[in-house]
Amino acid sequence: MEAIGNHILVRLRHILRWGSPMDSTEVEQEAHKEHKEHKAIPNEIDAISKLVVDAGLKVHKSLGPGLRESTYEHCLAREFRLREIAYQRQVALPIFYEGEKIEAGYRTDMVVEDAIIIEVKAIDTLTRVHEAQLLTYLKFSSLRLGFLMNFNVTLFTQGLRRMVR
């Protein structure tokens, strides 16, 4: 909604200033300038993320689609151990509501190097609900980078989503 509001404001300012409307490319460029700056993911975390994706690719190449999520999670954990990448499995994620800690039973599948959340899936298709779930986990954990890894696909890249908060 905020992006739409920015676009409208940009168009109105341009019309008031110059007396003519902008084309859509100009609107996009101006709205992007007004959008608050995003922080880049630090280089060391970005480097770890490449190792995480490579580990997921190896697991997918070895096992292929059709197994349970827990199987892929166990094998991914093994890959991280072999690569000496620190990780935790099934990390409890408390929710804070009006200052009170609520243990609602949420768990992230994996947290790598205390910096990256991984949600392992073995489903037909990733949806916006899965993306929203990961973004919510990132928000509540105060982490910025996460991956959805759906192993129930022919090509690993079809089931991989990198998300930054």
Q: What domain count does the chain have?
A: 2
Same domain, 61 and 140: yes
- DSSP class of residue 157? G
Same domain, 73 and 14: no
Question: Has residue 4 got a pLDDT over 70?
Answer: no
Q: Do 137 and 67 meet the contact criterion of CB atoms below 8 Å apart?
A: no
pLDDT for position 101: 87
Percent helix, percent strand, percent coil in the chain, to nearest 5: 50, 20, 30
Same domain, 21 and 66: no
pLDDT for position 33: 54
Same domain, 18 and 95: no
Same domain, 90 and 16: no
d(CA 156, CA 2): 33
Q: β-pairing, 95-97 with 100-102?
A: antiparallel
pLDDT for position 12: 60
Same domain, 25 and 99: no
Same domain, 97 and 51: yes
| Domain encompassing residue 24 | 2-34
Same domain, 70 and 21: no
Same domain, 60 and 133: yes
Same domain, 51 and 124: yes
Residue-wise pLDDT tens digits, 16-35: 666 666 555 554 555 555 45
Same domain, 23 and 69: no
pLDDT for position 2: 47
Helix, strand, or coil here: 147? Answer: strand
Same domain, 9 and 67: no
Residue 77 — pLDDT band, cuts 50, 70, 90? very high
d(CA 144, CA 116): 7
